[in-house]
Each structure stands twice: as C-alpha cells, then as structure tokens.
Amino acid sequence: MKTIFKIFLLISTFISNVSCADNHSQIVKKKSENPIYLFDVTGLINVNQTDVEKKWDTAHLLAAIQGIVNRDEPTLFIRFMKDTDDFWWNQLRQNGEWLDGRQVVKFKKLKQLLNHFRSDFKGVVVYDPKVPATCNLASTIAGVEDRLPLRYDKSKDSIYSMVMKMNYYKDVKKLINNDGSSMFTGKGFIPGTTVSSSGSAKNDVYLWGKINYIDKGLCSKEYMAYYIDSYWLKEPGEFSKNTLFNHDIFISQKAFFFDLDPWEDEAPVDDPNQKPGTDSATMKKLLKSFNKASGNKIFTIAGFTPWDRKYTDFGKSGGKHGGVATEWHYAKIISEYNGVMDADAPGLNGMVNASFYSHYPLKDYYEQNKKPTVEDLKKKGYISANGDVKQMAFVLVYMGDYDSAAWMNRIVPNMWKDPEHGKIIGTWAFNPNLSYRVPHVFDYVRTHKSSNDWFMSGDSGAGYLNPGMLLKKNRKNGLPDAIDKWKIWNKKYFKKFDLEVTGFIIDGASPGQNSACLDAYKEFSPVGIIGQKLPAFMGIHKNMPYIKMATDLPGNSFEAGKRIAGMTGIKPAFLPVRTVLKTPTWHAEMMRSAQENSQSEIAFVDPYTFFTLLKIHLKSINNTAGKAKKYVYWSHGRCDELSPISFNDGIFEIKEYDNVKTVYQSADDVQYIYFQIENGFAKKFANGKHDAEIQITLFDNKKGKVGITYDGIQDGESKAYIDLENYKYLKGKKKWTKITFKLKTPLFKHRENGNTDFRLINFGTDLIIKNVVIKQK
C-alpha cells in the first residue's frame, strides 16, 4: 500500500568523477565508441504559472526524443533532478565503470538537440489540449511510429510553433482537426471506424488507440504505461511529479499509454459527464486486448493511480473511494488480465533517463551473503541443544516499498550513504522485475553490499499483483489460469538475484492464497513467504514456511520500537514488520527502542535466519499439537500460551497495580486490548466445533463498559471480528472482580489486528487486568 513519502535528498555537485567504493563492481562492461549527449534541463523544476505549458511541452518532447534515440544504445542523458541524476552520472563514469572513457557532448539549446537527431524521427503527432487523453495517445504513437509529440498551441513562442517552423517534419499525424476543433467528441462513431462512441471523448481516444495499435499488433506485448495525462496542467504542482519524463523508456519500448478511473460506480473528475463506469469498462477492454496480444503472458504496467489528482476522495480528486481502496481495486483488475505493476505512485514518482539506464549490462548472477545454517544458529544461541527454538522474539523487517523503479532510483543513493548502513541488519525488499528499468541500481546495491545486507523480493514476488486473480475460478473475464506463468516469470528473476524469500504478498481486495498459489510460490520462493491472506497465521506448505505480515510500523522510530516491544507476545515470537522508505539510521533507532522497551529478548534477523527458525518451531508445534492444554492463561505478567499484544488502536502498559503486574489501559474513548493464543491451543478450535470461556480478573476502578470481539464462526460464516454484544459493566467499587465471556464456535486463527485472536473493548474506562484464562468448553 503506497502513499506519499517526502525525503530530503543530499545535495551533490555535478562533477565527472567520484572516488570508487572499496567493493566496486568488477564487471567488464561493453564500451561504445559513440559519444554520450548531455542536456541539462534542471530549470524545468521551478514551475510557475506563466510558462508551465511550455515546460510541459518541452518535457514531453524530450521524453520522446530520449525514448527514440536511446532505443538501441545509451545515447542521450538528461540532467533534470540534480541530486539523483548527478549521483548516477558520477557513479557510472567512475574508473572501470560502464561509462568510463565515453566522450561527452553537451547541448545547450533544445533546437541544437532537435537538429542533431532529426534523422531519427519520422514525423510529429499533434494532440488536442481540450481532450487531455490525446496526450497519452500521442506518447503511444510516438513510440510506435518514431514521432515527436506536440500539444497543439499556435501561440508564437510555443514548442509546437518552434518545431513546426523548423520544417523538418513533413509527416504530421493529427489527433485534432485541421481547424483546431476536437477530433474526439464522444458522439456518433469513434473517428475512422464504424464503432459507436462510448459517449465520452476521453474513452473514445483510448478505444481508437486500441483498435489502431493494440489490435493491429503494433504496440509492445510486454509494456503498458498508466500515467496522468495533460489534465495535470489544470492545477500544476511539483514538476517532477507529472511523470512526463517517465515516458521515455515506454516510448522506447512502444508501450500503450492510458489514464483511466478503475471504479465502476463513478464518473471521474476529469470527465464528469460520462456514464459512471465508462472509464473502468474501457480499461478492461484495453487489458483484454493486451492480454490477447501478449498470449496470456505476464506483462508490465508502469505507473499508478494518480490518486492525488483523480479517482479518489483525496483533496480535489473528486472520487468516492479512498486511496488504498482505489489502489487495491486497480490491482485486482489488472491482475485478472496478468498485469503486474511497476508502481510509480505519487510522491517520488518522477524519473528521467530510464531508456538510457536500461542498457546497463547486468551480471548473469548476483549472489547473496553466505546463508546461515542450523549449526550457525545454534552457535548464536537461537537453537538449543535439544533442537528447540530459544524463547525470545525474532523480528524480520520488510524494508520497502521498492516496487517502483522511480522510487528505487531516487531513494537508494541516500540509503547506501546513510551512516548506519552496513552496521545494522538491512533486509531490503527490492522487486527484481524493476531491473529492466533500473539495472544500474540493482548492480550498485549488490556490488556495494555489506555483510549485513540481505535481499528478498518486495510485494508478491517479481512485481505487484494479486496472485489469487491469476486463478481461473476467480476470474470473471473468462481467461484461463495464469498461475504457472507467474511461476515461470518469477523463476528467472529469483534465480538471477539469488532470491528465495517473498517479502509481502499483497492480496488487497482479491481472494487470498490457496494451495495452487502456494504450490507456485514453493517453486521459486522455497525458503518462505510473508503475506496478507494466507491459510493460517503461520504454517508450512510442502516444506515452505509462511507467515502473515504482523504490522506496518509508524513513522516515529521510538514509537515503532515500542510497537514491536508490545507485540512480542508468546515466545518464541516471530514478527515480520513493514517499513516504508525508512533509512538505516531510522531502523537503528527503532531497534534500540524495541530492545529498551521490551520485557523479553528481541533479535532482528535476516530472512534466512527468520524462516529457518520459524520452520523448526512450526514442526515442533505440529509434533506436540495433540498435547495442547485444556486452558491457557496470562497472569501477573506471566504468559502461559496466552499473551496481550499492543497495537496502534490498543496501546497499554505492563504496570504494577496493587502490588501485582497488570495490563493497564486508561481510555477516554473506545480502545482495545488484543490477545494472542499459542498455536497448539488455538488448533483445538480450528474445526469450529468447540466453544470457549474467557475469565478475566480486573480491578473495578471506575464506572464503564467492557466488551469483546473474537475470531470465529457466526451464522455459518467465518469472521475475524465477532462482537459478542454481551457487555460487562464496571461500577467503580475499587476492588478486584471477575467477568466472564462465553464464546460460541471460536476459530482463533489469528485474524484480528496484530495476528491476534480476540480483543477486549474498552468503552472509555480503566482496564486493569491481572488474570486472563481461556478454557475449552
């Protein structure tokens, strides 16, 4: 789940060489004798209302020029985002590196650049500023036909006027009528066809593109691009976030561009008069055609829902749905057609030079650090002499979200320059499929890794999709299974980058993982997987361990550490937790906070240690599950297979009260206290045929009400949160008292927040608890 994250990038000078890291790559790179052409457009960063349209037109033109001239080899480098572009330019020109020794020729004027490369272009394509979708169609045509995209603007100083006056480009394709009126009107027939209009000019643009480019087999069969159209010009903002420069590699690859609302129940803010759902219907038509063209293979869709401007309820975006809900709905749709995201989400979504970087020569294989063995873990004290896992908490940090090439390109330099990098366990979740667009970044992190750097895939493997939607039974579009194709797609990336762990399978609004999905993951991610919707909180599928993601950590490093300390629960505890774009320094502070605030021992470990220990523990549980107790308890600060878990809507303290250790929570409004049951005891309820009784001893300190929700079966339906609605009332008698809840057919599958089984509801009173006992009835 992606959102806006702001960072301050370190300022670097634009010099030709910097000192080489000690473990600099020893790859022998193929050299080209042709020069590199350099064009500096850093002035475009500072947008003002008087020249924003000209800057937009310049960026679009440059993206197309780059995409076309860089198609066969790295030729044109554009300096746009100073810190990022300077870092990689300097890095790649170091001694022995890829660009070492290449002649550099600088252009100072756009006209110089156009004159030099004019023979590479077949013509121009002119699009309609009154129909913003034609901007994306122009990018599609630019790639397929080697044309320069121009926004129709006859004003004297416009980019359109400048290029047309140069008189090089006689071949002009127009997405607008000769008199400047709109060619796409949303009426009658889609231009040049006998297909009835969708009733929307915006949608007719994309349907025209489908008919003339996808259906005729002219586009790429591997790439689509979902980037905001020229609607951005209505309210310009930070220029790098308009993602125009991102177009370059997708123009190079002849991708199909689009920008549509995924929701079926609304008309989008940029086309409010369309019949609700027209955008969504068109999106599905595009995807179906693209799926057919690709042969039902996995394909990449770069970009993301432009949630900060369209299709959500954020600000002026005009939609009904939240940002995450929109992301998940879009992910579900594209997954049903085999689309996998390169998720350039708003925030850090700008990138330049991908068409240049894409030629960087990766090694055939990148090996991880030496993976720990069972003997290694015994020496560390994590496994006892009798083979049991030590009674402590093991935390695996999913360091994300690196499911966007643009994000990786901008963030990695700061992460590797951070003073704590290499000093702490770094468990990096880089989506390996992004290596097509940022191969230089993948080589850099692997050839500059420390002994503490470990790598797993981000998201669902080699890309962000919902694997459950690859199954025919979950598809409404009639397409066959594609789970085997997902397996094949992942195998090549996991092998190349020596990956065996999948960091966070996102199911979102889609069905979760069944045996067919797990069978596929076992083939390329045998060491383990972390996910959202798994058959159980933790388990083993054909010798592959799996576990649900425990929580996303908050932004404050101290509070994040306290969150972990409060979730350690029953020992040994296994906690996979997620962070987003946090630095090694932040992680070091978080780890110190967790250890300082925990009452038990915590170890932050690499993925191989984590899953090796988890597998040993799960096998031990399976061997002893039949010997589970008749009851479990938490009492006076001691856990006997039952533990309170602190979560963001249920924070508490372990506090001395009346000379005993208690779970202490004082609330002014509704709060919760979550409890987790050990797997061996929880399994007694897995068939839904047993009832349970929970007895709680607490101090009746002030008047109030206490309730409970639990994970179980209600009215024949399995639910994570069943509200018993049998409230207990405190009277403020200032003495210890007992309350009892009787639960009908609990399941205790750890499906409540923090992978817990039930929670007490504190309706704004004091909960001071010294005993909790659960009995099977």
Q: What is the block-wise mean pLDDT of the chain (777 residues), using blocks of 10 residues?
A: 39 31 39 88 74 95 98 98 97 97 96 95 97 99 98 96 87 96 98 98 99 98 98 93 97 99 98 98 99 97 98 97 98 98 96 98 98 97 95 97 97 98 98 98 98 97 98 97 98 99 97 96 98 92 96 93 91 96 98 93 98 95 63 88 90 91 94 92 90 97 96 95 95 96 95 93 96 95
| 639 & 619 share domain | no
* pTM, full prediction: 0.90
Is 612 within the bounds of a domain? yes
| 655 & 611 share domain | no
| 253 & 378 share domain | no
Please state, in angstroms and rounded to a whole number, the distance separating the CA atoms of residues 363 and 373: 27
For position 628, what pLDDT does the model report? 56
Please state, in angstroms and rounded to a whole number, the distance separating the CA atoms of residues 131 and 167: 26
- Whether the CB-CB separation of 599 and 655 falls below 8 Å is answered with no
Please state, in angstroms and rounded to a whole number, the distance separating the CA atoms of residues 660 and 637: 8
Is 648 within the bounds of a domain? yes
- Whether the CB-CB separation of 63 and 244 falls below 8 Å is answered with yes
Range of the domain at 670: 628-776
The domain tally of the chain equals 3
| 611 & 728 share domain | no
Is 22 within the bounds of a domain? no
- Whether the CB-CB separation of 455 and 606 falls below 8 Å is answered with no
Nearest CA among 138, 337, 316, 162 for reference residue 227: 138
For position 17, what pLDDT does the model report? 33
- Whether the CB-CB separation of 770 and 661 falls below 8 Å is answered with yes
| 265 & 344 share domain | yes
Answer with the one of 600, 623, 646 that is the final residue of a domain: 623
Query: Cα separations (Å) of 550 from 396, 505, 598, 754, 761?
Result: 10, 13, 17, 5, 21
For position 168, what pLDDT does the model report? 74
Q: Which helix (H) or strand (E) holds 517?
A: helix 515-524
| 252 & 389 share domain | no
| 168 & 74 share domain | yes
Is 12 within the bounds of a domain? no
| 635 & 616 share domain | no
Answer with the one of 584, 604, 623 that is the final residue of a domain: 623
Please state, in angstroms and rounded to a whole number, the distance separating the CA atoms of residues 269 and 51: 25
Q: Where are the beta strands (DSSP E) in 282-335?
A: 299-303
- Between 133-145 and 52-69, two packed helices, what is the crossing angle to 10 degrees? 30
Please state, in angstroms and rounded to a whole number, the distance separating the CA atoms of residues 513 and 503: 14
- Whether the CB-CB separation of 573 and 544 falls below 8 Å is answered with no
For position 1, what pLDDT does the model report? 56
For position 305, what pLDDT does the model report? 98
Answer with the one of 623, 649, 679 that is the final residue of a domain: 623
